[in-house]
């Protein structure tokens, strides 16, 4: 199983604690916040690796490059660059992960299964929120708190194969939205469909040791 620690640093810092879409819209406060969170998340997830030269140099270099790429994001708002930038970041994380895979697995306090579980949880919640913003399904400044909570629950229950809880979550969130919003939105269907489908895929990938 691959310890996707660098990919977790990227997704958590760029999506969970800052609005990635606002970075592309040149929001200076959001850019500054992204810089700070990149450093904090990197330190939080790798503090035990920093006691060795290998860990210190790799984490420091990755964090510096990640900050530089975040700065470049703020220079363009084109969808083509959005996709290219994200692919570059994923490629960068993989480039750091592959040669250090064995070393990270034996030195990090975060074991690969837990890292990949957290990565899936991050993707299904905040990464998809940013995708929905880019597609215009939700407002750019929306935190999508309802959707995030719903997708996190679906991910947890699907990964645990608790299908009754999946059904209860679907029912509970539908009732909650009817009471709170009353007016139907296509996100009521898109969010659970995406989260259940992705969670099943992630479960398969983890059980197959592909990630």
Domain boundaries, the chain: 1-108
Residue 141 is predicted with a pLDDT of: 84
pLDDT tens readout for residues 137-167: 988 888 888 999 999 999 999 999 999 999 9
* 104 SS3 class: helix
In 3D space, the residue among 188, 10, 140 whose CA is nearest the CA of residue 85 turns out to be 10
Give me the DSSP letters along 142-175: ---HHHHHHHHHHHHHHHTT-HHHHHHHHHHHHH
CB 84 within 8 A of CB 173: no
pLDDT tens readout for residues 16-69: 988 888 887 777 888 888 899 999 999 999 999 999 999 999 999 999 999 998
**Band of pLDDT at residue 191, cut at 50, 70 and 90:** very high
**Which two structure tokens, joined as six digits, stand for 47?**
């503090």
**Band of pLDDT at residue 185, cut at 50, 70 and 90:** confident
**Band of pLDDT at residue 76, cut at 50, 70 and 90:** low
Give me the DSSP letters along 12-62: IIIIISS-HHHHHTT-HHHHHHHHHHHHHHHHHHHTTTTTSHHHHHHHHHH
**Which two structure tokens, joined as six digits, stand for 115?**
């890292």
Global pTM value? 0.92
């Amino acid at each position: 199983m691959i310890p996707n620690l660098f990919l977790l640093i990227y997704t958590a810092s760029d999506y969970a604690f800052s609005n990635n879409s606002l970075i592309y819209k040149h929001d200076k406060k959001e850019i500054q916040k992204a810089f700070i969170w990149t450093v904090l998340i990197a330190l939080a997830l790798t503090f035990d690796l920093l006691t060795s030269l290998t860990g210190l140099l790799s984490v420091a270099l990755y964090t510096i490059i990640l900050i530089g790429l975040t700065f470049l994001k703020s220079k363009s708002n084109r969808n083509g660059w959005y996709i290219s930038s994200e692919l570059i970041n994923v490629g960068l994380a993989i480039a750091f992960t592959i040669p250090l895979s064995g070393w990270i697995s034996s030195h990090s306090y975060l074991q690969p299964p837990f890292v990949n579980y957290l990565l899936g949880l991050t993707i299904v919640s905040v990464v998809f929120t940013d995708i929905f913003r880019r597609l215009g399904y939700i407002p750019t400044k929306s935190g999508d708190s309802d959707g995030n909570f719903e997708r996190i629950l679906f991910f947890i229950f699907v990964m645990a194969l608790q299908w009754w809880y999946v059904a209860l979550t679907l029912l509970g969130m539908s009732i909650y939205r009817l009471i709170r919003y009353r007016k139907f939105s296509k996100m009521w269907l898109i969010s659970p469909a995406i989260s259940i489908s992705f969670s099943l895929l992630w479960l398969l990938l983890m059980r197959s040791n592909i990630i």
